[in-house]
Amino acid sequence: MLGALIVIAGCASPSATSPASQSPSVAGSPSASAPASPTPPSASIRRLAADYLAIARPANHRLDGEVDGFGDHRRDDLAEADADLRAEAATERHFDRQLSRIPFPAAIAAIARALIRANQSRIALTRREARSGSLAGLRSFTSTRKAADAAVEVQARAIRKALSLPPPSTS
């Protein structure tokens, strides 16, 4: 039940693409002087990436503890497992609120909204899971949770790519 938000932060090393690193046909084409899409300059992308990581890293740190606690409790302590799940949902809601405040350009903002929607679906599932009346009921959410985590991970990878961040580590 590893929270997919954990994979969001990873390591921050934004990469900038210069015309010299492009293939000769692209660098020498007439459209090379004008950007093909309304992408902010690389300094803006680096700033947005830093803003993103500034919220993702602490959220991931909190989620690590909450996910570990849930893993410890899900087999033998329903009340503690439920508390761990409620804490996960609170952390994810806080991350979503912060993410929605970053002034991304339109294309990246669309990805951020998709990430928030995927995360909100996962939060709703986590809240239902936290209301389980038994440990067996809690465990019945495992495969559904994995699918929700995967949906969040897809969007997290997309926003990281748009921010010129390397893919998240898979630890």
The answer for residues whose C-beta is within 8 angstroms of residue 46's C-beta and 6 or more apart is: 14, 16, 164
pLDDT, mean of residues 120-139: 94
| Buried/exposed code over 73-103 (b: 16+ C-beta within 10 A; e: otherwise) | bbeeebeebbbbbbbbbebbeebbebbeebe
Predicted local distance difference test score (pLDDT) of residue 170: 54
What are the tens digits of pLDDT across the range 8-43?
A: 433 333 333 333 332 223 233 333 344 445 554 588
Predicted local distance difference test score (pLDDT) of residue 166: 85
The full length of the chain comes to 171
Q: Pick the closest to residue 60 from 122, 10, 13 (CA basis).
A: 10
Q: Pick the closest to residue 119 from 73, 88, 165 (CA basis).
A: 88
Band (pLDDT 50/70/90 cuts) for residue 58 is very high
Query: Is 42 buried (19+), middle (13-18) or exposed (0-12) by CB count in 10 A?
Result: middle
Q: Is residue 61's pLDDT more than 70?
A: yes
Predicted local distance difference test score (pLDDT) of residue 168: 74
What are the tens digits of pLDDT across the range 146-162?
A: 999 999 999 999 999 99
pTM greater than 0.95:
no
Predicted local distance difference test score (pLDDT) of residue 22: 29
The CA radius of gyration of the chain, in Å to the nearest whole number, is 19
CA distance 63 to 17: 33
Token pair belonging to 116: 């928030």
pLDDT, mean of residues 133-148: 93
Q: Pick the closest to residue 163 from 47, 41, 45 (CA basis).
A: 45
